[in-house]
Amino acid sequence: MPIEIPKDKWPGSIKKVTLGGTSAEGGTRAKSVTVGGETTLPYLHFEAPTPNKPLIAIEIKSHKPDDWSPLLAEIWGDAMNDPARWAQKAEEAGADLIVLALTLADSPDDAVKVVKSVLGATGLPLIVWGPGQAEKDNDLLVPVAEATKGEKLMLGICEDKNYRTIVAAAMANGHVIQARTPMDVNLAKQLNILITDMGLPADRIMMDPTTGALGYGIEYGYSVMERLRLAALQGDAMTQLPMIVTPGFEAWKAKESKVGEGVPEAWGDWKARAIHWETLTAIALVESGADIIVLRHPESVKRVKDTIEELVTV
Amino acid sequence: MQHTISFTHNEKQSSVSVPTGTMLSDAAHLAGVEIGQPCGGQGRCGRCAVLVTGGNVRRRSTLRLSPADVEQGYALACQSVVEGDVVINVPPQEKIERRLTTDRVVAEVTVPLDYDFDQHQSIHRVYLELTPPTMEDQTDDWARLQTVLRTQANIPEVICSLHLLQTLGKTLRDGEWRVTVVVDSDMEFPEKPVRLIEVFPGRVDDYSPLWGCAIDIGTTTVSLWLVDLVSGHVRAQVAEYNGQIARGEDVISRIIYSGKAGGEQEMRQLVLDTINDLLETACKRVKARPEDVMKATIAGNSTMMHLLLGIPAGSIRLSPFITAVNHPPVMLAKEVGINIHHEGAVDCLPGVASYVGADITAGVLSSGLEHAEHVTLFIDVGTNGEIVLGNRDWLVTCACSAGPAFEGAGVVNGMRATQGAIEEVWINGETFEPTYRVIGGGKPKGICGSGLISLLAEAFLTGVIDKAGNVNLMAGSSRVREGSHGGEYVIVRGAESESGEDIVITRVDIDNLLRAKAAIYAGFSILADTVGVPLEMADRVLVGGSFGKYINVEKAVQIGLLPDMEWSRFEFLGNTSVKGAYAALLDWRMRDRITEIAKRMTYVELSADNSFYDAFTSALFLPHTDMSRFPSVAEALSSKVEGRTSD
Amino acid sequence: MALSGIQIYKLLPQTNCKECGFPTCLAFAMKLAAKQVELGSCPYVSDASKKQLAESAAPPIRLITLKAGTEVKAGNEVVMFRHEKTFYNKPGLFVRVKASDPELAAKAAKADAYKVNYVGMDFTVDGFAVEADGGDFVGAVKAVRNMTRRPLILIADDAALLDSALSLLAGESALIYAANSSNYEALADVAKKYKAALVLKADSFDAFADLTQKVQAKGVEDMVLDLGGKNLGEWLARSTQARRLAIKANQRALGYPTIFFAGQSGPEKEAVYAAQAIAKYAGFVVLDTFTPELAYALLVLRENIYTDPQKPIQVQPGIYEINSPNADSPVLVTTNFSITYFSVANEVEGSGLPAWLVVTDAEGMSVLTAWAAGKFDAERIAKAIKGFDVASKINKKRIVLPGHVAVLSGELEEELAGWEIRVGPREAVDLPAFMKQVLN
């Protein structure tokens, strides 16, 4: 009995976003990377190949974080005290990009300095996050944006409250914006509209839909991403942006990863569980359309990279 | 090349010579003719329309003009370019405002064509001549009256109150056995006894008014119409904020308040006070007394009805959301506490469910929706936005909590649509300076619902606020400033306002308005989805509510309150609830139809799943997150951008 | 295809007789469209309408139930994406044991005894797959059956061997793995004899469609498909295609749940393989490795993916720390509707001010809605404050209520004796200013 395989033909596609300025563009990156460009739901090769495979970023911080899991402290060791070295180790661990998270302790001068030192230590494209408070983000990201013109960084995290200042800085200095909204298709789209209304081209924005972790709301993030991707393919221009997700941040917040003691025996081995937690959180998001996956543990990086490789191989 | 432009304005002539390509508005300025341009010459407000009576101009945009207007020669001075000699007639401003295609003025109230007092009214007034008693004729007064009612008025059975009996003897004798009686009969059940309301001595002129009143108890606004039942004419229309507002802005707060010790009694008294004050005011206008009013027909949402009658309303709020009564029986005014004639009937119209009350059944009746051949959308924009979708075959309805913003409440400088309210606003897209129109023309006191809609649309189109409603503090105008609740925009500076204080719209006000419009739009979309009928299929959109006397459909569409359709498909009906009550007051057949409508309507619970929330967040943007639902707004925005670059 | 409310309404008598328990025929039609009532409640519907409605309501993927002391179901799915409605039957997690494995009983026992609690629910594995790999298969089945009450999958291609094994499982519904075009007749006979479900293997959808029809002709209705595939990408494609064929193309010959073996590329990849299978439509997932940490992660993922997305989005009630609060930081109260929680948490987080955020169980409603529905009242708030032992974390017994529920402060003072009740702003956006100016 002959069966015809139903194939979806979509009117829309995801925009391509390129990060990292090489010397040709006035930057210092060894190479630039491009994500996006998809014309189908994730990895459906019988419809179209995956044009740009999802990339892995490793998150490092400008100061050694005191609230990270001991498992992470153990694996990164001393490098956590030196962002430049940490970035190098991250590159060795297989990162395609580095995320450098600034902290409240940084002054604008510190911020510029640490960004420069990380840029000096690795040739990978860089994503820079402010400490996550609107005012402080603006204080730090504006000078960083100005001091790194040509590097084509991604600046985050831009939210509906503080978008104007960060977007203006990105626009003036050729950077890309990470636009974060709290787990809602409409809010994601609205922020994209507000940002593009300011004049930043859509191919310089990545959506960060906020995902939650395994066991902590990942189903919402998962569905929001599926819906965003579907809307994009159906031709809704304001959802046609590639997505960056932060399963490392999300999963390592969870008790399952963070702590080894005082948890139920049925949770099993701590380290193995922590890696499962980060990996499965990431895989669920890879399946629903993530383009840049920000992780924390090198073992998870390896597993997620292997998985992506398998998914894009026809 | 130079061209001569001749203007006629206020019966004065002037002319000017200008080169090809001059904007008509600039030519007028040079000729000393001032044409109002509230929107700053962006072709949005249509207030600069002029009549081209000779020669021709190139119209860059005719956004606010109908094809018929253009045909007649109208052009927007700010959007028309001189290309030859022309003769221009500048019409008076009021004339322009009346012809703008987007403004919908409330339909006038007219007495139903076939209204016949004798046939359709349940209240009757009958002149009777009794034979005086004698030593031979010892019949008692009451039996004597009953007899003539039977023989002269064909009323076989009549009942009356003790109070009437107490005064009957005196009235009969004062009138020398000639009296006029007012009776209330149930036309639907002619077998039921007729109730005697009042006996007047002597003959009352057949054409003198016999008063009834139609009342709509809104959560925010109470409206009362005083009606001459003989002619059917509405003689006075009055409205005031519901006195219960002080105890909570929405029905839920009121229910909870009424559940406290003494709360029920207090709530009841508050609304009775509002109604009785309105009654007094209306009666004064026609030089009548409240006790001359023989009947009151009341529409209102289920909660308002319960609170008016002092019936516990707690069950309305809690799942499974059941009312104590959807269809109260007819009661006497003295029981209810309304100061019309104490023997007069108070008829509370029937509702459908906890959140779809008599206001909406009455609204369906007065909107004519139940007879519509094609799918029609009816919205009553009040504190609860009630929506009905349907036609003569089916009717579905839902209610969404919009809040009181569109009635001017819950907004810092909001007010009802009365004297002193700003009812329309334009903002100049270059300078961000506003122009506004005030009801009554005096100094502004505040902004009413239609003014708020207009203001929101203008602020959005000019970039004073972004699509999420954030005030753009970088706009570079002193009208935009940081207030105590975030950004705000100053519409009227203290020097020009009635109170001497600035009239502003704050970020919180904008949020309230956005939420209100989003709730209503989400209601439409979910209701349409639930029955599987696309919203665009709606042939007509009937809009009811107390925004003011008119609504600018274009602006309501621009903010995403109303769906984007041709303006001609909208009808603005004003307060449909009180209109329905008026129809039921006049004509017992209409009263029966409301009961039928209540039985036919299918209620959809919006909060049953996530889809409402999704539709709501989607609508919580200007005009909507999904711009493809608002093509005309997208066009207006892109022409604005083009306009900017061409300048 | 599913019909809309109006389409169904047109098939009903339109008399508004109310005998179905709904006020109007349209109300009943909308409930039918939402699959919340049965057509049988309408006494007057015509036979023609009945037929049409039944066709539109038939599930595109057959429901398969494996049963022993416990039950596991697969199939009956109606959507490609969980947000479109929901995924209904969680894929059963089975642990494979091999007949030749001397540790078989111990391995099964460990997995069988496994139980883990996740937000108040107890999760376990669903059953075992016993594979005939040269050892004593019947003995192995017997050993496993003595060990567990859970349903079994029997992996063997010898019909006689299966017959003996199945004879030990009287009254159960097991799953036989697997029939192909050359052995289906014998296996179908065994399946029929023991009312077992049968897994089919084929290398194309054409072949699957032929095979399901042939097996059906042999009297077996309960089938499961093993789609094969050399790697994750290929299996994803096939699984997506199978689901589309069943749901969108209404291909009844392919309307069966699927089975997936997660250990096929080695234990390193097993977690990821199983995770994809859970997210992407598998009906049964077979694991080769059992460890508590793997089982826990997969069971939680499965629960998450199969949660009904139509229910309001909730966050876990509890006390949340924002910006590392200490004993002098304020305590703010809100509901567990996720958007409400997010807007409050984000405003406070963004301000840099430390605070404790108490999230009450308001059944996932926003402050106003919950208050309106009686799910956010003084009693519930007091219960949360006591239940989360807020007092132990702070020096000053003081809580801040959302401004929208200022009316609750009086009652709360009674419920929470000794606490100071403060009324905060109505909008989250005003919280930072309130915290700076009023609370200090």
Write the CATH number for B56: 3.10.20.30
pLDDT band at C233 (very low <50, low <70, confident <90, very high): very high
Are A187 and B614 an interchain contact pair (Cβ–Cβ within 8 Å)? no
pLDDT band at A98 (very low <50, low <70, confident <90, very high): very high
Co-location of C351 and C279 in the same domain: no
Domain limits for position B20 = 2-101
Contacts for B98 with CB less than 8 Å, ≥ 6 apart = none
Co-location of B183 and B269 in the same domain: no
* Number of C-beta neighbours around residue B77 at 10 A: 26
Are C297 and A269 an interchain contact pair (Cβ–Cβ within 8 Å)? no
- Name the residue with tokens 């109606």: C78
Co-location of B599 and B489 in the same domain: no
Classified as helix, coil or strand, B381 is strand
Burial of B544 per CB tally in 10 Å (0-12, 13-18, 19+): buried
The answer to whether residue C387 is domain-embedded is: yes
Predicted-complex ipTM score: 0.97
Q: Please tell me the predicted confidence (pLDDT) of residue C409.
A: 84
Co-location of B476 and B520 in the same domain: no
Mean pLDDT of B605-619: 80
Best mutation target among A185, A190, A238 (most B Cβ atoms within 10 Å) is A190
DSSP structure class, residue A213? B
Angle of helix A185-197 relative to helix A163-173, nearest 10 degrees, comes to 50
* Residue B485, pLDDT above cutoff 90: no
Co-location of C335 and C416 in the same domain: yes
* Residue B172, pLDDT above cutoff 70: yes
Contacts for C402 with CB less than 8 Å, ≥ 6 apart = C333, C334, C367, C424, C425, C426
Mean pLDDT of A27-35: 96
The answer to whether residue C81 is domain-embedded is: yes
Report the C-alpha gap between C71 and B128 in whole angstroms: 86
* Residue C229, pLDDT above cutoff 80: yes
C30 — contact with chain B (CB < 8 Å)? Answer: yes
Dig out the tokens for C63 from the structure: 């429901």
Beta strand residue intervals within B272-410, DSSP E? 293-300, 331-332, 345-348, 376-381, 384-390, 395-401
The answer to whether residue B109 is domain-embedded is: no
Contact in structure between B586 and B380 (CB atoms under 8 Å): no
Mean pLDDT score of chain B, rounded to an integer?
87
Q: Which of C242, C272, C305 is the last residue of a domain?
A: C305
Task: Kindly report the CATH number assigned to the domain that includes residue C329.
Answer: 3.40.50.11600
Which of B256, B396, B485 shows the shortest C-beta gap to C26? Answer: B396
A5 — contact with chain C (CB < 8 Å)? Answer: yes
For the stretch A264-303, pLDDT in tens is 999 999 999 999 999 999 999 999 999 999 999 999 999 9
* Residue B496, pLDDT above cutoff 90: yes
The answer to whether residue C221 is domain-embedded is: yes
Co-location of C68 and C53 in the same domain: no
| CB contact residues (below 8 A), chain B span 379-408, against chain C | 393-394, 396, 401
**C-alpha dist (Å) from residue C399 to C334, C342, C376:** 11, 19, 15
* Residue B68, pLDDT above cutoff 80: no
Mean pLDDT of B373-384: 88
Classified as helix, coil or strand, A259 is coil
Most confident region among A298-312, B570-584, C109-123 by mean pLDDT: A298-312
* Residue B104, pLDDT above cutoff 70: no
How many domains does chain C contain in total? 3
Co-location of C187 and C155 in the same domain: yes
Mean pLDDT of C16-31: 83
A vs C, Cβ pairs < 8 A, gives 168
Dig out the tokens for B290 from the structure: 């409240």
Share of chain B above pLDDT 70, in %: 93
Co-location of C271 and C397 in the same domain: no
For the stretch C87-104, pLDDT in tens is 999 999 999 999 999 999
Report the C-alpha gap between A195 and B467 in whole angstroms: 11
Mean pLDDT of C272-282: 97
Q: Please tell me the predicted confidence (pLDDT) of residue B189.
A: 66
Co-location of B166 and B288 in the same domain: no
Co-location of B393 and B539 in the same domain: yes
Contacts of A161 in chain C (CB under 8 A): 346, 350
Handedness of CA B163, B169, B174, B175 (dihedral sign): positive
Co-location of B501 and B519 in the same domain: no
* Residue A236, pLDDT above cutoff 70: yes
Q: Please tell me the predicted confidence (pLDDT) of residue B55.
A: 87
Are C27 and B602 an interchain contact pair (Cβ–Cβ within 8 Å)? yes
Contacts of C309 in chain A (CB under 8 A): 219-220, 223
Burial of B374 per CB tally in 10 Å (0-12, 13-18, 19+): exposed
Q: Which of B101, B136, B170 is the last residue of a domain?
A: B101
Class of domain A17-29+46-308: alpha beta
Contacts of C372 in chain B (CB under 8 A): 252, 317
pLDDT band at A234 (very low <50, low <70, confident <90, very high): very high
Contacts of A189 in chain B (CB under 8 A): 625
Contacts for B173 with CB less than 8 Å, ≥ 6 apart = none
* Residue B181, pLDDT above cutoff 80: yes
Closest-CA distance of chain B to residue C313, Å: 8
Q: Please tell me the predicted confidence (pLDDT) of residue A205.
A: 98
Mean pLDDT of B482-503: 91
* Number of C-beta neighbours around residue B329 at 10 A: 7
Co-location of B233 and B321 in the same domain: yes
Handedness of CA A141, A142, A147, A149 (dihedral sign): positive
Co-location of B332 and B374 in the same domain: no
Report the C-alpha gap between B402 and B545 in whole angstroms: 12
Are C117 and A307 an interchain contact pair (Cβ–Cβ within 8 Å)? no
Report the C-alpha gap between B271 and C228 in whole angstroms: 73
Residue of B nearest to C374 (CA): B318
pLDDT band at B548 (very low <50, low <70, confident <90, very high): low
Report the C-alpha gap between B525 and B617 in whole angstroms: 12
Longest pairwise C-alpha distance within chain C:
82
Beta strand C318-322 pairing with C355-360: antiparallel
Co-location of B533 and B394 in the same domain: yes
- Name the residue with tokens 């409050």: C344
pLDDT band at B645 (very low <50, low <70, confident <90, very high): very low
Beta strand B103-105 pairing with B446-447: unpaired
Q: Please tell me the predicted confidence (pLDDT) of residue C354.
A: 92
Closest-CA distance of chain C to residue A121, Å: 31
Q: Please tell me the predicted confidence (pLDDT) of residue B644.
A: 38
Contact in structure between B390 and B364 (CB atoms under 8 Å): no
For the stretch B386-406, pLDDT in tens is 899 999 888 999 888 777 778
Burial of B442 per CB tally in 10 Å (0-12, 13-18, 19+): exposed
Are C24 and B611 an interchain contact pair (Cβ–Cβ within 8 Å)? no
Contact in structure between C58 and C3 (CB atoms under 8 Å): no
For the stretch C167-209, pLDDT in tens is 999 999 999 999 999 999 999 999 999 999 999 999 999 999 9
For the stretch B303-339, pLDDT in tens is 999 999 999 998 888 878 889 999 999 999 999 999 9
Burial of A20 per CB tally in 10 Å (0-12, 13-18, 19+): buried
Report the C-alpha gap between C200 and B569 in whole angstroms: 59
Terminal Cα-to-Cα distance of chain C (whole angstroms):
62
For the stretch C202-226, pLDDT in tens is 999 999 999 999 999 999 999 999 9
Q: Which of C242, C276, C305 is the last residue of a domain?
A: C305
Task: Kindly report the CATH number assigned to the domain that includes residue B169.
Answer: 3.10.20.880
Q: Please tell me the predicted confidence (pLDDT) of residue B143.
A: 94
Please report all neighbours of B, defined by 3+ CB atom pairs within 8 A.
A, C
Contacts of B533 in chain C (CB under 8 A): 4, 6
For the stretch A196-213, pLDDT in tens is 999 999 999 999 999 989
Alpha helices in C96-222 (DSSP H): 104-113, 137-147, 159-167, 184-193, 205-217
Task: Find, among B399, B499, B491, B478, the residue nearest to B452 by Cα.
Answer: B491
Dig out the tokens for B326 from the structure: 């959807």
Task: Find, among C417, C399, C91, the residue nearest to C273 by Cα.
Answer: C91
Mean pLDDT of B130-140: 92
Q: Please tell me the predicted confidence (pLDDT) of residue C440.
A: 64
Co-location of B394 and B434 in the same domain: no
Mean pLDDT of B23-42: 81
Best mutation target among B531, B596, B605, B614 (most C Cβ atoms within 10 Å) is B531
Please report all neighbours of A, defined by 3+ CB atom pairs within 8 A.
B, C
Co-location of C27 and C101 in the same domain: no
How many domains does chain B contain in total? 5
Q: Which of C57, C77, C97 is the last residue of a domain?
A: C57
The answer to whether residue C312 is domain-embedded is: no
Report the C-alpha gap between C202 and C217 in whole angstroms: 17
Are A5 and C245 an interchain contact pair (Cβ–Cβ within 8 Å)? yes
Q: Please tell me the predicted confidence (pLDDT) of residue B94.
A: 62
Higher pLDDT, B77 or C227: C227
Please report all neighbours of C, defined by 3+ CB atom pairs within 8 A.
A, B
Mean pLDDT score of chain A, rounded to an integer?
95
Domain limits for position C392 = 318-437
Co-location of C357 and C323 in the same domain: yes
Co-location of B501 and B532 in the same domain: no
Co-location of C107 and C21 in the same domain: no
Edge-to-edge strands of the sheet including A176-180?
A: A205-208, A176-180, A154-158, A126-129, A97-101, A55-61, A292-295, A244-245
* Residue B106, pLDDT above cutoff 60: no
A105 — contact with chain C (CB < 8 Å)? Answer: no
Dig out the tokens for B506 from the structure: 């704050």
Q: Please tell me the predicted confidence (pLDDT) of residue B165.
A: 94
Mean pLDDT score of chain C, rounded to an integer?
91
Longest pairwise C-alpha distance within chain A:
70
For the stretch C244-264, pLDDT in tens is 999 999 898 999 999 999 999
Are C233 and A222 an interchain contact pair (Cβ–Cβ within 8 Å)? no
Q: Please tell me the predicted confidence (pLDDT) of residue A39.
A: 97
Q: Long-range contacts made by residues B470-477, C-beta under 8 angstroms, separation at least 24?
A: B470/A160, B470/B507, B471/B507, B471/B510, B474/A164, B475/B432, B477/B431, B477/B432, B477/B433
Co-location of B527 and B499 in the same domain: no
Most confident region among A67-81, B522-536, C25-39 by mean pLDDT: A67-81
C6 — contact with chain B (CB < 8 Å)? Answer: yes
